[in-house]
Amino acid sequence: MLEEPPLGYAVCQLFERYIISRAGDYVIIVDQHAAHERLVCEYIKKVTEQEGIKRQVLLMPEFIELGNEYELELLTEYREKLRDLGLIVEPMGDLTVVVREVPAIFGVVDAKALISKILESIMAKGDELFVKGKLSHICGTVACYSSIRSGRIMKLEEMNSLLRHMESTPHSGQCNHGRPTYVKLKLSEIDKLFERT
């Protein structure tokens, strides 16, 4: 007889946000976005460490209107460091920048959301963000925007695939922001909730 996987098998999706699975006498509730975000981040870090950062040229460069002059100054100041991370951003005049290339590992990405999040990170961390080993912060930012979103209906096969990947990925019990990606409730704990002994 095959041994049951640690995170069990998906039973259903709840509120298009949580995967409910069962493993032995445990019910496991998985936050689909947080879990997938961790998987994407770990994958990005692994591939980047092994192969370096490869860029992909956007077929349609994205023009982004920034909120103020300070944001434009920051992107101009950090332009070469962003290039080293695979992101080609060029000022176009006024408060507009164009994103021409993104790291290939990111696949399809919302460039406006990515630039917004990177600006937020630069404002918070400055040069520290670009110190070797700090790539994980940017990986986390991109992972957040390229992961399965809450509200997305998933098939059982997709849910089980996510569970299997979680089982084989380091740190999959926590999202990139430190929150748990799943909780396990033992049948005895559920019984206590209903005052059963």
Superfamily of domain 9-39+151-193: MutL, C-terminal domain, dimerisation subdomain (3.30.1540.20)
**Which pLDDT band holds residue 51 (cuts at 50, 70, 90)?**
confident
Q: What are phi and psi for residue 23, nearest 5 degrees?
A: -135, 105
Bridge partners, residue 13, by sequence: 19
Q: What local confidence, expressed as pLDDT, does residue 132 receive?
A: 56
Q: What local confidence, expressed as pLDDT, does residue 176 receive?
A: 82
Q: What local confidence, expressed as pLDDT, does residue 194 receive?
A: 96
CA dist., res. 58 & res. 112, Å (int) = 13
**Which pLDDT band holds residue 97 (cuts at 50, 70, 90)?**
very high
Q: What are phi and psi for residue 67, nearest 5 degrees?
A: -80, -30
Express each pLDDT in 133-168 by its tens digit: 555 666 776 677 667 888 899 999 999 999 999 999
Bridge partners, residue 18, by sequence: 14, 31
CA dist., res. 168 & res. 82, Å (int) = 31
Provide the 3-class DSSP secondary structure of residue 58: strand
Q: Which residue has the higher pLDDT, 157 or 47?
A: 157
The reply to whether 54-146 shares the fold of 9-39+151-193 is: no
Express each pLDDT in 172-184 by its tens digit: 999 888 899 999 9
CATH topology for the 54-146 domain: Ribosomal Protein S8; Chain: A, domain 1 (3.30.1370)
CA dist., res. 151 & res. 146, Å (int) = 14
Domains of the chain by residue range = 9-39+151-193, 54-146
Q: What local confidence, expressed as pLDDT, does residue 128 receive?
A: 75
Instruction: Round to the nearest angstrom and report the end-to-end CA distance of the chain.
Output: 31
